[in-house]
Chain A
Amino acid sequence: MSGSADTPSGLSALDRPNSYIGRAVPRPNLTRLMQGRGQYVSDMTLPRMGHVVYVRSPYAHARILGIDSTDAKAMPGVIAVVTGAELAQVCTPWVGVLSHLKGLKSAPQYPIAVDRACWQGEAVAAVIATSRAIAEDAAEQVIVDYEELEPVTDMRTALDPETPVIHPDLGDNLAFERKLDAGEVDRAFAEADAVVDAEFVFGRHTGVTLESRSVLADWNAGEGRLTVYQGTQAPHMMQNIFAKHLSLEEAQVRVVCKDVGGSFGIKVHVYADEMATAALSKLLRRPVKFVADRIESFATDIHARDHRCYGKIGVMKDGTITAFEIDDLTGIGPYSMYPRTSAIEANQVVNLVGGPYTAQNYRARARVVFQNKNVTCQYRAVGHPIACSVTEGLVDLAARAIGMDPAEIRRRNLIQDDAYPCGSPSGLKFEALSHHAALNKLLAMMNYDALRVEQAELRQRGIYRGIGLASFIEVTNPSAAFYGVGGARISSQDGVTVRLDATGSVTCQTSITEQGQGSEAITAQVVATAIGVPMERVRVILGDTDNTPYGGGTWASRAAGIGGEAAWQAGKALRNNILAAAATILQADPATLDVVDGVVVDKGTTRQRIGLDEMARITYFRPDTLPPGFQAELMATRHFVPRQYPFAFTNGVQASWLEVDIETGFVTLLKHWVVEDCGTIINPQLVDEQIRGGVVQGLGPALYEHCRYDESGQLTNGNMADYLVPMAAEMPDIEVGHVVSPTLETELGAKGAGEAGTAGAAAAVANAVNDALSPFDVLITEIPLTPELILKELKRF
């Protein structure tokens, strides 16, 4: 844990006595979870609850000619068997487009396929029974008559005239295309001393949350209300969407999100089978529960990446990078996901390539095509690993072309730390980044020069180790520019309500959500600090549309930066109200008072004047003793949304040190370093573990994780034995350091930290593998870097 920032940023308001900002305090929900008292959707049972199992298409593309459920319906314990056509009567279809992604198109998607299945795993019928086991037995008896259709599986030929068009109404398989041309790219390449290019290939992979997707929908016909218990990152978004497609008023829908076992972006989307579960509850007028099993998770949880990106870079002999160019292609499955769309990842790639560097000449094209595979969408660090791997891979290639050290070429091209605010050729606005401070810190942490010496010595003995560097920028704290402007009803603002209770404790309701990352903890830290109470006295309530302010939830590294600021402002407002009430009771000037450790004191001294418990007692039970005309307000609500910058960019740099066994192609990760700058660090332990977890989720796809489809569109490794999730034994020690540049857009100054680790890990590993293999004149620009791939490049067999 060396290198952690254990002091806050120095903003005076945060440095109050007993401040929790910048302290690694334990998470309040830890004991409950460790004692097995978490409440996950799969733990819940309601009276008359039915369990739904979906019959899923075994084909990537097939027409549904008929469904015979006679035998299934006759089985004891079976409540109903429902087809797509029947469910379409209850739930309207959706189209995953956003108006600011010009030209993005998709086809209407139904909760259950109506006449055609478009990927292997798409639900074609629902079986509801009194237990999951009975429903599975019955699902085996549902006979579906399919006519196999030609599947579109290779993104490279998806746009060819010979390739069938998946949705004929759309005209072609092109979902979205974006082009960008900034500066004078042709001239920059023409004038460069060297121009190098490569094609970078990124395997499809997925999120593999410990708890699978789960939803329990309860339509109460008597009340005219639908309550949905769901493992989701965005309860208010889901409330809107359930209402819209089930023809209800929003007020008729309550989404409750209790404990969630990991999300990583997997649980922020609208899944057809979850919509179907809610619709089934309405149709059957009883609670219906769906818990995806592991096979279903692999076949239907959103996948991500699956890009082929051609990249080109121009460089001068002195190391100056003159231009970047990319041509990105990605396959997203048969539908653009709703409501965030599946075009965001490619769009991010275009936005982010070259982002850390000064070069202003940049040309890009991204094409997003349909295919008959599972849908893809936003997963931790959307687009970042691709943009970073392409950029950093190109920078290393450029360095090689001119014979310059990889650290040196970065030093010469990273945007200077005093150049802010500034912008990127793709139009990004940077408030304050710290690339050079981060790089310097990283090189010192890893003892870069000594490592290079060690590497050279080992190479003499036939041991091939490599060092890989990767600078990155990360999108955090998104404003309405992300989704709202495109017409999606996804809140970019968050709200927090804090209330002083009658015994002086604080109840806090926030619209951000918790899936294990510590949202609850940082909210309690911020509120306790802002008001001036011990953290144990703050209880945080989240994840319930009936009981929290309206807001976005937790995704895109936004909870601490946006929800945290709302909590800070709400806490400050309550503190002022407390001071006003205390001043009235004490007949003092509120400006002379302060709240410290749950007690009103004289400002600047520790002289205790009145405890919050006593103050609350008087306010709530003996208001008759207060002067006429005074009304205490011991509850306050504040909302926050960033307005100045569309995104609060963070930055950082990663390094990997690894060994390649050139006889077997196996890669051993020896060490990983990260220096990142997420602004104010509210809880250093949570930030460090976010970084480490993020790195692991970047190392997984670099070496192991891959959703492998065959030419017929069959997922061939959709289980935990064949889909290789990174495990602790293979992971290196990950050392984390920080540079702190708070955003001035908020008082808290926090930016996001959830995705930085994932953004750069694969790039660092790929660069390190190529560095290790540099004596052999090979270049590998594909992940996962499997032993087979490496051995083939080395021509070992």
Chain B
Amino acid sequence: MKASDFNYVCPSSVEEATSLLALHGDGAKVIAGGQSLVPALNLRLLAPEILIDIGRIGTLRYISVADGMVRIGALARHVDLLNSQEIAEHVPLLAEAITYVAHPAIRNRGTIGGNLAHADPASELPACMMALDAVMVISGPSGERRVAASEFFLGIYETALAPDELLIGLEIPVTAAGSRFYFHEFSRRNGDFAIAGLAAQANVRDGTVESLRLAYFAIGGRPTLAAHAAAKVARQPIGPAVIADAQSALAEDLEPHDDQQASSAMRLHLAKVLLERCMSDLVQDQEMKRKALQ
């Protein structure tokens, strides 16, 4: 398992990186943490002519909070998110989700930009971006543009990024006071990619749920907002009948796939289990959960 030969270049700025991308076109591949790319190279699933290593563009590794917005640079590593007080305080959903991503060795190198650009449908982080209504910040030959998470993830390993564009960061609105989250996934082993997972964010008042965003992952080719199911529970007192109603609506929202880990029927079933657990968790006191993250 040796990668085929490639050239290597290590730009020191975003501008340099994007012009290299424009120059080399399809033959180029960006490498960030390498945690998804290097296995693909060694398995010879990919054989780029040149690797553009963005790992030394220091300006892309940051986490900041200002003006009601959490901003994360593309090169912020999983471990940075895990250790960040800002993330724990302002986007606790992400703080919890990151603990499910891979293992320490991988979290030490893997970057959030690489993770989102890779767009593995089984990954936790794209779904969190959907649940949190994040915006992707992209740099290309014609400057910067912003794309909502719900329009960024297009399919298996497919995003709105053009070949000559770089994901440079993302922006997440600080979650409102009183907003609640739920995160859970079913994976065969700790740190494995999930076979079904749910990232959810909502406002909860007097046992009813508002502006609920249910982002499923590992079900179908991309992270999916279950809008029909969310509509069924909106402003309803949460109880078995309402939950059952929402569970049935999941069939409209999701397009579960078959693979070795689970059939599509099993995935739909697990999505329903997640929904039920999510709803009962959301209406319970979450103080403990917040404290555990800080």
Which residues of chain A have a CB within 8 Å of any CB of chain B? 132-133, 136-137, 140, 293-295, 663-664, 666, 704, 708, 716-717, 719, 721-722, 724, 726-727, 729-730, 787-788, 791, 796-797
Contact = CB atoms under 8 A, between A and B. Distances in A.
B68 interface: no
A796 B269 contact: yes
B189 A727 contact: yes
A213 to B, nearest CB: 14
Contacts of A664: 186, 270, 273
A128 to B, nearest CB: 15
A295 B265 contact: no
Given A137-B5, A663-B273, A727-B189, 13 more contacts: A133-B2, A133-B3, A294-B1, A295-B1, A295-B43, A664-B186, A704-B189, A722-B260, A724-B188, A727-B190, A788-B262, A788-B263, A797-B266
A132 B43 CA distance: 14
A729 B3 CA distance: 31
B207 interface: no
A116 B2 CA distance: 28
Nearest to A51: B2
Interface residues of B, number: 25
A783 to B, nearest CB: 14
B191 interface: yes
Given A133-B2, A293-B1, A788-B263, A666 B189 contact: no
B280 interface: no
Query: 4 shortest A-B CB distances, which residue pairs?
Result: A729-B190, A797-B269, A133-B2, A293-B1
A666 B266 contact: no
B189 A136 contact: no
Given A664-B270, A717-B260, A132 B2 contact: yes
Contacts of A132: 2
Given A664-B186, A666-B186, A708-B260, A797 B268 contact: yes
A791 B1 CA distance: 37
Contacts of B1: 136, 293-295
A796 B268 CA distance: 11
A796 B195 CA distance: 17
Interface of B: 1-5, 43-44, 186, 188-193, 195, 260-263, 265-266, 268-270, 273
B269 A791 contact: yes
7 contacts: A133-B5, A136-B1, A293-B1, A704-B189, A729-B191, A787-B262, A788-B262
A704 B3 CA distance: 29
Nearest to A53: B2
A727 B188 CA distance: 10
A726 B190 CA distance: 10
A528 B211 CA distance: 74
A787 B2 contact: no
Contacts of A724: 188-189, 192
Contacts of A666: 186
Contacts of A721: 192-193
Contacts of A716: 260
Nearest to A296: B1
Nearest to A708: B260
A551 to B, nearest CB: 36
A724 B261 CA distance: 11
Contacts of A722: 260
Main SS at interface, chain B: loop
A134 to B, nearest CB: 9
Nearest to B267: A797
Contacts of B266: 787-788, 791, 797
A132 B273 CA distance: 48
Contacts of B189: 704, 724, 726-727, 729-730
Contacts of B273: 663-664
A716 B260 CA distance: 9
Best-surrounded residue of B4, B189, B190, B191 (most CB of chain A within 10 A): B189
A137 B266 CA distance: 41
Nearest to A724: B188
B275 to A, nearest CB: 12
Nearest to A727: B189
A677 B270 CA distance: 44
Contacts of A137: 4-5
Nearest to A665: B266
Nearest to B269: A797
A793 to B, nearest CB: 13
Contacts of A663: 273
Contacts of A796: 269
Given A133-B2, A797-B268, A704 B188 contact: yes
Contacts of B262: 787-788
Contacts of B2: 132-133, 136
A787 B3 CA distance: 36
B186 A787 contact: yes
B265 A797 contact: yes
A733 B103 CA distance: 21
B170 to A, nearest CB: 26
A663 B270 CA distance: 8
A293 B1 CA distance: 6
Contacts of A704: 188-189
A726 B188 CA distance: 10
A394 B5 CA distance: 57
A628 to B, nearest CB: 68
A727 B193 CA distance: 14
Nearest to B196: A664
B279 to A, nearest CB: 14
Contacts of A133: 2-3, 5
Nearest to B187: A666
Contacts of B261: 788
B44 to A, nearest CB: 8
A80 to B, nearest CB: 19
Contacts of A797: 265-266, 268-269
A730 to B, nearest CB: 6
A290 B190 CA distance: 33
A295 B45 CA distance: 13
A295 B190 CA distance: 23
A272 B30 CA distance: 40
A191 to B, nearest CB: 45
A730 B190 contact: yes
Nearest to A726: B189
A509 to B, nearest CB: 37
A26 B190 CA distance: 31
Contacts of A730: 189-190
Nearest to A295: B1
A686 B226 CA distance: 53
Contacts of A727: 189-191
B292 to A, nearest CB: 18
B263 to A, nearest CB: 7
A136 B4 CA distance: 8
A727 to B, nearest CB: 5
Best-surrounded residue of A294, A717, A791 (most CB of chain B within 10 A): A791
A491 B240 CA distance: 68
Best-surrounded residue of A293, A664, A724 (most CB of chain B within 10 A): A664
Contacts of B263: 788
A726 B273 CA distance: 25
Contacts of B43: 295, 719
A266 B186 CA distance: 32
A191 B5 CA distance: 73
Contacts of A708: 260
B216 to A, nearest CB: 15
Contacts of B265: 797
B42 to A, nearest CB: 9
A719 B40 CA distance: 12
Nearest to B42: A293
A666 B186 CA distance: 9
Nearest to B195: A787
A83 B260 CA distance: 35
Contacts of B192: 721, 724
B100 to A, nearest CB: 12
A588 B195 CA distance: 78
